[in-house]
Structure 1
Amino acid sequence: MIVEICASNFESARIAQECGADRIELCTDLGVGGLTPSRESIQKVTTELDIPINVLVRPRKGNFVYSEVEFHEMLDTIEFCRELNCAGVVSGVLTQENEIDFERTKHLVKASEGMEFTFHRAFDEVADPISALNSLIALGVDRLLSSGLELNAADGIPLLKQLQEHSAGRIEIMPGAGINETNAQLFKVAGFQSIHLSAIKKGIAINSMFETGVEGVSDSEIIKKVITIVR
């Protein structure tokens, strides 16, 4: 099982690599659900570490409906990631009606050609998850990161399994949100091929989908325990 660590700083990314994680989602500002990291951070991590790096492309907190200026900023970030040979990007756009913004996401996917494209947890705000998944499949998205529309992915397992069955191998479903050493086994038993977690030990929980209140450095012991459990 692939273990992806959501790292909001270089130290977390370094720890993840040393502990044997498979991949990094690099971001900043986990307290608001993650935002695009600085270009300095992207460059440092990609040049000093060997682990595959997928960069979160989310220009601001709040909803996932973006202005033209914000959208072009996202495209510029993707081009920067391409120049640094990043493994992939993690992004996505919704409409005002909480549906997949097909045309804008299509542009993001095209801009990411040669890199993996993961549609992030904007999906957890959609009104119709099966219809939204069909859109992502049609767009050729490689992976969906989702909590199953719940605050905690463990609670979203029934929908996540439904999404995985519906996908029929056309897109990878990667659970994420609240995964740790106490519940990682649930996702292995449920048949998922990868999981996403920050592995941060301490944080103040906020009852909001994208404001976690969690900041800090990934804990090596949590990463090691999760890896032991799921492999």
Structure 2
Amino acid sequence: MKLEICANSYQSALNAQKAGADRIEVCSELSIGGITPSFGLLKKIAEDLTIVTNVLIRPRSGNFYYSDDEFLLMKENIKLCKKLGFNGIVSGVLNNDDSIDIERTKELISLSKPLSFTFHRAFDCVKNPQEALKQLIALKVDCILTSGQQEKAENGIELLKELQKLAKDKLIILPGSGINKKNTYLFKQAGFKEIHASASKIISTERSFFFGNTPQTISDKETIKEILKVIKST
């Protein structure tokens, strides 16, 4: 089973590489579900690191249906990721009824080639996950990142297993959200090929009167190693 680390900064990405993670998904602002990271961060990761890297393409927080201008930004960022030589794109688009926007998602997948394409946790908003899975298989998505439509993947394990059974070998179901060293064995026992975790620890609780009280977090090298130890255990 492979471990993907959701890296919210250069240091998080570096820690994931040093700890031996298989892959990272680079994003910014995990506290709001993640958005597209800056060009500077992407360029530095591309130049300095060797770990397999996917990039989140999400222009803002909130819902997953976008204006024409927002969609254009997404496409421009995908082009940038291709130029920088990354492994894959993590993205997706919904309609305003939270169904899969087939045409726009198809356009993003086509533009991303030859990079891999993961449909992100917008999947957890769809009303019919089984139907959405069929649609994404038809679009030839490589992977779906999902918590099984629960706040934590551990609580969505039954739907995750159902989706994995339905997907067979047509795409990878990638469980994510709240995965840690204590529950990794659940996903290992269920036969998932990959898991997604932030392995975060709080490194600063300093608060600003003007800018809220969200703590600063980082993907922790030792926490990543502990998850890997569970993965590699017999």
**What is the rounded CA distance, in whole Å, between the counterparts of 1:46 and 1:114 in structure 2?**
17
Whether 1:230 and 2:231 are equivalent positions in the alignment is yes
- Identity, in percent, stands at 48
1:149-208: CA deviation from partner (whole Å, max 9, x where unpaired): 00000000100000000011101000000001111111000110000011012499xxxx
8 Å CA contact 2:119–2:145 kept in 1: the answer is yes
Give the distance between the partners of 2:193 and 2:168, measured in 1 at CA.
13
What's the C-alpha RMSD, in Å, of the aligned pairs?
Answer: 1.2
Query: What residue in structure 2 maps to residue 157 of structure 1?
Result: 157
Counterpart amino acid of 2:85?
A: N
Q: Which amino acid aligns with 1:201?
A: K
Are the aligned partners of 1:30 and 1:214 in contact in 2 as well (CA < 8 Å)? Answer: no
Task: Give yes or no for contact 1:93–1:101 (8 Å, CA) kept in 2.
Answer: yes
1:131-146 paired onto structure 2 within 5 Å = 131-146=131-146
Q: Give, in whole Å, the separation in 2 of the partners of 1:214 and 1:98.
A: 31
Counterpart in 2 of 1:38? 38
Match of 1:195 in 2: 195
Report the AA paired with residue 192 of structure 2. Answer: F
* Equivalent position of 1:114 in the other structure: 114
**Residue identity matched to 1:218:** S
Runs of at least 5 residues in structure 1 that lack an aligned partner in the other structure: 205-212
Contact 2:137 2:170 in 1 (8 A): yes
TM-score when normalising by structure 1? 0.94
CA distance in 2, matches of 1:147, 1:132: 15
Tell me, in whole angstroms, the C-alpha distance in 2 between the residues paired with 1:157 and 1:21.
Answer: 23
Shift of residue 48 of structure 1?
A: 0.3
Going by fraction, where is strand more abundant, 1 or 2?
Answer: 2
Structure exhibiting the larger radius of gyration computed from Cα positions = 2
The aligned length equals 223
CA distance in 1, matches of 2:228, 2:47: 25
Name the counterpart of 1:14: 14
Instruction: Please name the residue that 2:73 is paired with.
Output: 73
Deviation beyond 2 Å, 4+ runs, structure 1: 201-204
Give the letter for the 1:134 counterpart.
K
Which residue matches 1:186?
A: 186
Letter in 2 for 1:230: I
Structure 1 match to 2:51: 51
For 2:225, what is the secondary structure of its paired residue? helix
Q: Residue by residue, what CA displacement relative to the aligned partner does 1:67-124 show, whole Å, maximum 9, x if unpaired?
A: 0000010000000000011100100000011111000000000001110100000000
Q: Retained in 2: the 8 A contact 1:19–1:220?
A: yes
- Normalised by the length of structure 2, the TM-score is 0.93
Q: Which residue identity is paired with 1:219?
A: D
